[in-house]
Structure 1
Amino acid sequence: MSTYILGLDLGTTSVKAVLFETDSRAVVATHALPTASDIINNSVTKAKEQDTLRIIDTLNRCVGLLPRDKLQHVNSIGLSGQMHGVLFWKAKSGCDWSNRDFFTARDTSQLITWQDGRCSSELLSSLPKPDSHLSVATGFGCATIFWPEFLEDFTVAGTIQDYVVSMLCGLDVCVMTPQNAASWGFFNTSSNQWNIDILRGAGFPLTLLPQCVPSGGLAGQTCSDWHGIPAGTPVGAALGDFQCSVYSCMSARTDAVLNISTSAQLTFAMPADFKPPHSPQLTSSISYFPYFDSLYLAVAASLNGGNVLATFVEMLTTWMKELNAELSDSCLYEKLIGCALNQETSDLRVSPTILGERHNPFCLGQVTNISASNLSLGHVTRALCSGVLDNITSMMPVEHLQQAGVSRIVGSGSALARNEVLRQEVERAFPQPVVYRQNADSAVGVAMVLCDRL
């Protein structure tokens, strides 16, 4: 009889559920739904919150759409989700299981997401220096907790995926892996411990810090039947969506994964003996994220990826409307790609950093080397795609990959999947061979982690 792992990813805009067959290591069923959970808060500048009830309702609907006869044979559940953010709830009353075999959120705050911008530079500069190689930014859990109005009488805090694990297992506390803890700040990934003394000295409410457990380990067992999944089913401690997405498509230690979707990331696994620097490297374009088995990922995470191309299309669409010549975004996108395919190279240079970068937020976009002969849509689109690759390889140079022993580039992401010009520029940018996999998938990745480790 076949058995399955249920992999769940609670993303910023959607929830995805997959059933992963343990013997064949194949996805046999999948479903994804948008959460539509963003809360518009005009009274608080730069607030980015989401409705917890809607997220959990979407999760229940998503799992409920999977085949119930297969759900009855799920032998473990894994969760990943959006990192950095924080949710508060009350121990023992954080959800309601009375509605048949699924729970609803109760006695929780809204989710304050990684996009929240309320922690000003003044507040951040007033915080103590963390004992960590990772810096603290607005939207990070520990920075958000320093805002007293969020606390009220809540007793537990975690990411949204940590909350779901706690509710599935009936835990009175939050358990958190180093992957999510590192994304909160004030966490030392070498010792796998919170900066207790530093936070205590700053008046931080230490009782809200989750208990740390290993990445890839179990958090507990389901306390109730859930959509046909029997009570007592093992549940993995929640993981980071980025790490799980990499796990889903990195098949060898000598692979580097290039993902270009809304944003862009280039990453590879560091050697087993690598130790991160002792303090944040604020101007470095490369960060080191905790992975599995005490390994780290070297990550160049660009804010500028497919969103740059989408902005270009939106700009042209707006211009056309002003000229009373409307064309849908999808049709325009296809025509631009066709023009660029007919233009094999361009001497036009586009630096597409319209959103800046975390390590250099004030470096915005530029267009240079403009001439009368390179202003066609083919030239501009080709140069824009080339610029996206130039930017990510400036953050993590090809020589750096070669020195690290990277022998292959694994390309994934929605922007790469739909844009042949972008794929051509990827193959020009790297001397290593490039292979394309299905899109990096955190829900699949977390199921693979449990399949390999339990």
Structure 2
Amino acid sequence: MFLGIDLGTSELKLLLLDEQHRIVTTTGVALTVQRPQPLWSEQDPAAWWAALDAGMAKLKEEHGDALAQVRGIGLSGQMHGAVTLDAADQVLRPAILWNDGRSGPQCAEMMAACPELPAITGNLAMPGFTAPKLAWMRQHEHELFARVAKVLLPKDWLRLQLSGEYVSEMSDAAGTLWLDVGRRCWSPEALALTGLTEAHMPRLVEGSEASATLKPELAARWGLPAGIPVAGGGGDNAASAVGMGVVKPGDGFLSLGTSGVIFLCNPAFSPNPARAVHAFCHALPDTWHQMSVVLSAASSLRWVTQLLNEPNEATLIDKVAALSDTQRQQAPIFLPYLSGERTPHNNANAKGVFFGLTHEHDAAALGYAVLEGVGFALLDGWQALQAGGGSAEQLWLVGGGARSEWWAKLLASLLNVRLVNGVGAEAGGALGAARLAWLACGGTVDEVCRTPDIARVAEPDPALAAALQPRYERFKRLFEALRSEFV
């Protein structure tokens, strides 16, 4: 039995996996995000620990016998967040999250000070990454910055609470902008840009390695065996890839979560920073991956559903699906940049836009515009990946948005690639975390990292793609026309 812990932005999820690849149970505890100022996005790490403790208490009550058989723990989590600790391991301020956009000026300063930074880290300096957040602290909260003894990523702060050890792993560390991604080690040059050294960083392991052991008092509290290992784990997308068996060159997936991600496995470090493509380490040794990232994907759908006072996303999608072709052609154009954008624009100030509204437009028209606009943004990212040599015959489709067959058909047609839903793929990072725990306990990649059974396939529709093309061209022209207005 293996325990996967996935620290998401909106939920902490726990999963128990047995050695027959059966998911015994999952449970989740909701989390909230605080936005005290425009562009800011924060969470209190204490809320993460409270969620983990509550989830473990529920597992102990409902599945105590399974917990007693757990051989290892794996961690997955939201990437890029900055948890700053003083010398006594006290959290200095709320964690600054991946979708926080305050550090745009610091990104520009870092790029000017170190033009070779993308060659080292595989990425442009973007506000979502961890390093610019510390540069912002250095300028705007200098007294707190002076007290920083360690900087940890969200899941690695949980590891500290679980084991007392400062450890990270390659896939999550690659999203800090401090890692030499090709060499899989901390970069002194990148750290120096933020006034930090390797002493401020955790020790690095591979995601499939044991990183530490669970504290005895926590094992006793939760009914787990004493001395079990905590695996290195993975950043959320790399862990999700392990959970789907996306571990070999040419494998890939499309995730429709809060953000929208297209993930492709690579056999070597393959940076393409000019198009704002991310090049990261995978959670397995000697493996890398590329990603395009849209910051507001299913979260755009959630936003418009709440704005229109619809009961839920599925109800709104049903209304969208009932529209005629003519009604869709006459719908507004939507730019889905509610939290800024990464690939390919790298513009933290980009904003969401409905363009072309009339009295005739209703909830279905706005819902359609949002689903289509997210698709257009994903197509921008897919083209950026292809420009750098990325390709795939099919992509696994995961995340909350993957439940919609209608949206899947739209996206498959836009990207011109088969989209495949896998049985149990909604477990995502938690399943990948449990599998990484299995690997840390001696399992092999071929044995552990199986692909799921296929539940549903969305094939591209060339006629639909052709009908969408004029609206996509208009979408691109609209962004360019408004670029100078995004401040």
SS of residue matched to 1:166: helix
Residue of structure 2 equivalent to 1:97: none
- Counterpart of 2:383 in structure 1: which amino acid? P
In structure 1, C-alpha distance between the alignment counterparts of 2:144 and 2:108, rounded to whole Å: 17
Q: CA deviation at 1:118?
A: 4.0
Residue of structure 2 equivalent to 1:441: 428
Contact 1:246–1:445 under 8 Å retained in 2: yes
Q: State the Cα deviation string for residues 305-352 of structure 1 (Å, max 9, x = none).
A: 22333343344x3xxxxxxxxxx4216861552353352574347343
Matches within 5 A, 1:292-311: 292-311=284-303
SS of residue matched to 1:135: coil
- Counterpart of 1:290 in structure 2: which amino acid? C
Matches within 5 A, 1:338-353: 338-344=319-325, 346-348=328-330, 350-353=333-336
Residue of structure 2 equivalent to 1:187: 179
| 5+ long unaligned stretches in structure 2 | 443-487
Matches within 5 A, 1:279-428: 281=273, 283-291=274-282, 292-315=284-307, 317=308, 328-330=309-311, 334=315, 337-344=318-325, 346-348=328-330, 350-355=333-338, 356-358=340-342, 359-360=344-345, 361=347, 381-397=367-383, 400=386, 404=390, 406-417=392-403, 419-428=404-413
Closer, same or farther: CA 182–399 of 1 in aligned 2, 3 Å: closer
Instruction: Tell me whether 390-399 or 420-429 shows the greater mean CA deviation.
Output: 390-399
- Counterpart of 2:260 in structure 1: which amino acid? A
- Counterpart of 1:231 in structure 2: which amino acid? A
SS of residue matched to 2:199: helix
Q: CA deviation at 1:32?
A: 0.5
The TM-score, its normalising length taken from structure 1, stands at: 0.79
- Counterpart of 1:268 in structure 2: which amino acid? L
1:231 and 2:226 matched = yes
- Counterpart of 2:42 in structure 1: which amino acid? E
- Counterpart of 2:125 in structure 1: which amino acid? V
Matches within 5 A, 1:53-202: 53-66=46-59, 67-89=63-85, 94=89, 109-122=93-106, 124-125=108-109, 128-129=113-114, 130=117, 131-146=120-135, 147=138, 148-151=142-145, 153=147, 155-171=149-165, 174-197=166-189, 199-200=191-192
RMSD between superposed Cα atoms in Å: 3.4
In structure 2, C-alpha distance between the alignment counterparts of 1:287 and 1:421, rounded to whole Å: 29
| 5+ long unaligned stretches in structure 1 | 95-105, 318-327
Matches within 5 A, 1:242-281: 242-251=237-246, 253=248, 254-270=250-266, 272=267, 274-277=268-271, 281=273
**Greater share of helix:** 2
The TM-score, its normalising length taken from structure 2, stands at: 0.74
SS of residue matched to 1:410: strand
Contact 2:207–2:436 under 8 Å retained in 1: no
Instruction: Tell me whether 69-78 or 27-36 shows the greater mean CA deviation.
Output: 27-36
In structure 2, C-alpha distance between the alignment counterparts of 1:342 and 1:202, rounded to whole Å: 52
In structure 1, C-alpha distance between the alignment counterparts of 2:154 and 2:270, rounded to whole Å: 27
Residue of structure 1 equivalent to 2:437: 450
Residue of structure 1 equivalent to 2:454: none
In structure 1, C-alpha distance between the alignment counterparts of 2:107 and 2:413, rounded to whole Å: 44
Q: CA deviation at 1:201?
A: 7.2
In structure 1, C-alpha distance between the alignment counterparts of 2:263 and 2:129, rounded to whole Å: 21
User: Given the alignment, which residue of 196, 199, 208 partners 1:204?
Assistant: 196
Residue of structure 2 equivalent to 1:19: 16
Larger CA Rg, structure 1 vs 2: 1
Contact 2:212–2:230 under 8 Å retained in 1: yes
Contact 2:131–2:194 under 8 Å retained in 1: no
Q: CA deviation at 1:6?
A: 0.7
1:6 and 2:3 matched = yes
In structure 1, C-alpha distance between the alignment counterparts of 2:415 and 2:35, rounded to whole Å: 42
In structure 1, C-alpha distance between the alignment counterparts of 2:110 and 2:394, rounded to whole Å: 44
In structure 2, C-alpha distance between the alignment counterparts of 1:435 and 1:251, rounded to whole Å: 13
In structure 2, C-alpha distance between the alignment counterparts of 1:149 and 1:124, rounded to whole Å: 23
In structure 2, C-alpha distance between the alignment counterparts of 1:333 and 1:284, rounded to whole Å: 34
Closer, same or farther: CA 401–246 of 1 in aligned 2, 3 Å: farther
In structure 2, C-alpha distance between the alignment counterparts of 1:197 and 1:307, rounded to whole Å: 36
Q: CA deviation at 1:431?
A: 4.1
- Counterpart of 1:86 in structure 2: which amino acid? A
